[in-house]
Chains A and B, each alone.
Chain A
Amino acid sequence: MNLQNIFSQIEKVDPEVYDRLDTRRKAMKDFARMSGKIALAAVPLAVASMFKKAYGQTPGDVNSILNFALTLEYLEAEFYNNIVGSPGYLTAPAAAQNELRKIRDDENKHVIFLKSVLGAAAVAKPTFDFTAGNGSGTGPFAGYLGSYAVQLAMAQTFEDTGVRAYKGQAPGLQSNRVALTAALNIHSVEGRHAAHIRQMRRALDAAIPPAQKPLKPWITLNYSGITYSPAADMAIQASYNGEELTTQAGVNIVGLGGTYNTPGAASEGFDEPLTAAQVLAIVDPFIV
Chain B
Amino acid sequence: MKRTSFSPPSENGLSEFGMQRRNMLKYFGASAAIITIGSACNKSDDTPSNGGVDLGTGDVGILNYAYALEQLEAAFYLQVVATPYSGITALETEYLTDIRNHEVGHREFFKAAITAAAPTMIIPSLEVDFSTINFADRTSVLSTAKAFEDLGVTAYNGAGQLISTTGNGPVYLGLAGKIVSVEARHAALIADLITPGSFANTTDANGLDTARTPAQVLAIAGTYIKTKIDASHLPS
Q: Interface on A for B, CB 8 Å cutoff?
A: 2, 5, 9, 12-16, 19, 95, 98-99, 102-103, 105-110, 112-113, 163, 166-167, 170-171, 174-175, 177, 180-182, 184-196, 199, 214, 216-218, 248-251, 253, 256-258, 260-262, 265-266, 268-273
Tell me, yes or no, whether B219 is within 8 Å of chain A by CB. Answer: no
CB distance from A113 to the nearest CB of B (A): 4
Residue pair B210, A268 in contact (C-beta under 8 Å)? no
Q: Are B109 and A248 in contact (CB under 8 A)?
A: yes
Least CB separation from A162: chain B residue: B181
Size category, B interface:
35 or more
Kindly identify, within residues 4 to 22 of chain B, every residue whose CB is under 8 Å from any CB belonging to chain A: 19, 22
**Contacts A106-B203, A109-B205 given: A13-B211 contact, CB under 8 Å?**
yes
**Could you tell me the dominant secondary structure of chain A's interface residues?**
helix
* Chain B residue contacts of A174, Cβ below 8 A: 161, 163, 165, 169-170, 173
Measured in the bound complex, the distance between the Cα atoms of B100 and A218 in whole Å is 13
Q: What is the CA–CA distance of A261 and B211 in the complex, to the nearest angstrom?
A: 29
Does B153 sit within 8 A of A, measured CB to CB? yes
Whether B45 sits at the interface, judged by CB under 8 Å, is: no
- Partner pick for B101 among A13, A19, A269, A272, CB 8 A cutoff: A269
Q: Is the CB of B184 within 8 A of A249?
A: no
Say whether B109 contacts A192, CB under 8 Å: no
List A contacts of B211 (CB < 8 A). Answer: 12-13, 181, 184-185
Does A19 lie within 8 Å of B158, measured CB to CB? no
If A106-B203, A248-B175, A265-B98 touch, whether A188 touches B181 (CB-CB below 8 Å) is yes
Q: Which of B131-139, B194-202, B226-234 contacts A (4 or more CB under 8 A)?
A: B194-202
B182 interface contact, C-beta 8 A: yes
What are 23 A-B residue pairs whose CB atoms fall within 8 Å in the complex? A13-B211, A16-B22, A106-B200, A106-B207, A163-B181, A166-B177, A167-B177, A171-B170, A174-B169, A180-B160, A184-B209, A191-B182, A194-B185, A195-B199, A196-B197, A196-B199, A216-B98, A218-B98, A256-B112, A265-B101, A265-B105, A266-B105, A269-B101
A residues less than 8 Å from B173 (CB atoms) = 170-171, 174
Neighbour of B181 across the interface among A16, A95, A102, A271, CB < 8 A: A271
What 8 pairs across the A-B complex have the smallest Cβ distances?
A109-B207, A191-B184, A269-B102, A195-B188, A257-B108, A191-B181, A192-B188, A195-B185
Which partner residue on chain A sits nearest B213 by CB separation?
A15
B94 on interface, CB distance cutoff 8 Å = yes
Any A CB within 8 A of the CB of B64: no
Contacting pair A217 B185 (CB below 8 A): yes
Known: A188-B181, A192-B185, A196-B199. A253 touches B105 (CB 8 A): yes
- CA of A109 to CA of B207, assembled, Å: 6
Inside 8 A of B145's CB, which chain A residues have their CB?
none
Taking CB atoms, residues of chain A closer than 8 Å to B109 are 248-249, 251, 253, 256
The reply to whether B182 and A192 contact each other, CB–CB distance below 8 Å, is no
Given that A181-B157, A266-B105, A268-B182 are known contacts, is A9 also in contact with B174, CB under 8 Å in the complex? no
Q: Is B146 an interface residue (CB 8 A)?
A: no
Identity of the chain A residue whose Cβ is nearest the Cβ of B203 in the assembled complex = A189
**In the assembled complex, which residues on chain B have CB atoms less than 8 Å from the CB atom of A5?**
205-206
Contact B208 A182 (CB under 8 A): yes
A253 cross-chain contacts in B, Cβ below 8 A: 105, 108-109
Q: Are A192 and B187 in contact (CB under 8 A)?
A: yes
A218 touches B200 (CB 8 A): no
Q: Are B185 and A191 in contact (CB under 8 A)?
A: yes
Q: From residue B113, how far is it (CB to closest CB) to chain A in Å?
A: 5
Interface core residue of A16, A103, A105, A170 (most chain B CB under 10 Å): A170
Option from B153, B156, B174, B188 in Cβ contact (under 8 Å) with A217: B188
Most buried by A among B109, B116, B177: B177
For B111, the closest partner residue in chain A by CB is A257
- Most A Cβ at <10 Å: residue of B171, B180, B183: B180
Docked Cα-Cα span, A171 to B185, in Å, equals 21
On chain A, the residues within 8 Å of B218 by CB distance are none
Known: A174-B163, A214-B94, A260-B100. A269 touches B182 (CB 8 A): yes
Partner among B107, B160, B180, B197 whose Cβ is within 8 Å of the Cβ of A95: B197
A104 to chain B, nearest CB (A): 10
Query: For residue A12, which residues in chain B have a CB less than 8 angstroms away from its CB?
Result: 210-211
| Beta-carbon contact of B104 and A102 below 8 Å | no
Q: Is the CB of A192 within 8 A of B184?
A: yes
Q: How far is the CB of A108 from chain B (nearest CB, A)?
A: 8
Judging by beta carbons under 8 Å apart, are A257 and B185 in contact?
A: no
For residue A167, which residue of chain B has the nearest CB? B177
The answer to whether B105 touches A260, judged by C-beta atoms less than 8 angstroms apart, is yes
Q: What residue of chain B has the Cβ atom nearest to residue A272's Cβ?
A: B178
How far is the CB of B80 from the nearest CB of chain A, in Å?
13
